Chain A
Amino acid sequence: QLQLQESGPGLVKPSETLSLTCTVSGGSISSSSHYWGWIRQPPGKGLEWIGSIFYDGSAYYNPSLRSRLTISVDTSKNHFSLNVNSVTAADTAVYYCGRHRSGSDQHFDPWGQGTLVTVSS
């Protein structure tokens, strides 16, 4: 059974870089059928797609966040990572990772449990 688990610091200072990793278990990240993506949810608000990456490193980003984002993949460790630079309080959110099916079956499944990242000095 495929499982995803987010990890990283729960507290980041303003203007610094938020870095998270999503470790995939129970399956290979090198699947040719799937992307691997990040979604976030500010407290009390809705979901926001951040971006998704293929095992070969090709990635798509939310246009509103693109200038501050880097998503990378490490197939040897079966994980992918998110970096958001120059963070502000508006980046405080629960960050989820998920397998992103591509093509006509576009959807996220499964999801990680999520990790809360707070931006504060």
Chain B
Amino acid sequence: QTVVTQEPSFSVSPGGTVTLTCGLSSGSVSTTYYPSWYQQTPGQAPRTLIYNTNTRSSGVPDRFSGSILGNKAALTITGAQADDESDYYCMLYIGSGISVFGGGTKLTVL
């Protein structure tokens, strides 16, 4: 069974830069996994941030960026703001019509 791994938690100072990662329990993430990223605040539906590795969804500020770093997908937030404090999920397409979400990263801005 494919497991998508994310850091359980991360913290960043206001104005700082943070990179969250999305990996595989076995193997490397590449662009062919079409990684996407979602932001979720408590009680709300997820909001799409990034798809196809590095394409920002409509209305997403350019301080959110996606990439492949080493063997993982990455979401970088530059100039973190208080309202960036959320849960962040990645999703990978592993083939044969199957998509898998990571366990999520709880980001604290303090």
Contacts and interface: CB of A to CB of B under 8 A. Distances in A.
Contacts of A107: 34, 36, 48, 51-52, 57, 91
Interface stretch (B17-25, B67-75, B76-84, B97-105): B97-105
A42 B71 CA distance: 29
B48 A108 contact: yes
Given A47-B46, A108-B91, A52 B97 contact: yes
A98 to B, nearest CB: 8
A62 interface: yes
Interface residues of A, number: 24
Report whether over half of chain B's contact residues are helix, strand or loop; otherwise say mixed. strand
Nearest to B47: A111
Given A63-B98, A64-B1, A105-B52, A46 B46 contact: no
Interface string A80-111: 00000000000000001000110011111111
Interface in B90-110: 91, 93, 96-104
Contact of B104 (A46, A96, A100, A111): A46
Nearest to B93: A106
Contacts of A64: 1
B101 A106 contact: no
Interface in A39-64: 39, 46-49, 52, 60, 62-64
A49 B34 contact: no
B101 A49 contact: yes
A49 B99 contact: yes
Contacts of B57: 107, 109
Given A47-B46, A101-B51, A111-B45, 19 more contacts: A39-B101, A46-B89, A46-B104, A49-B100, A49-B101, A52-B97, A60-B97, A64-B1, A96-B46, A105-B52, A106-B34, A106-B36, A106-B51, A106-B93, A107-B34, A107-B51, A108-B38, A110-B48, A111-B48
B60 to A, nearest CB: 11
A48 B57 CA distance: 21
8 contacts: A47-B46, A60-B96, A63-B1, A100-B99, A105-B52, A106-B93, A111-B47, A113-B45
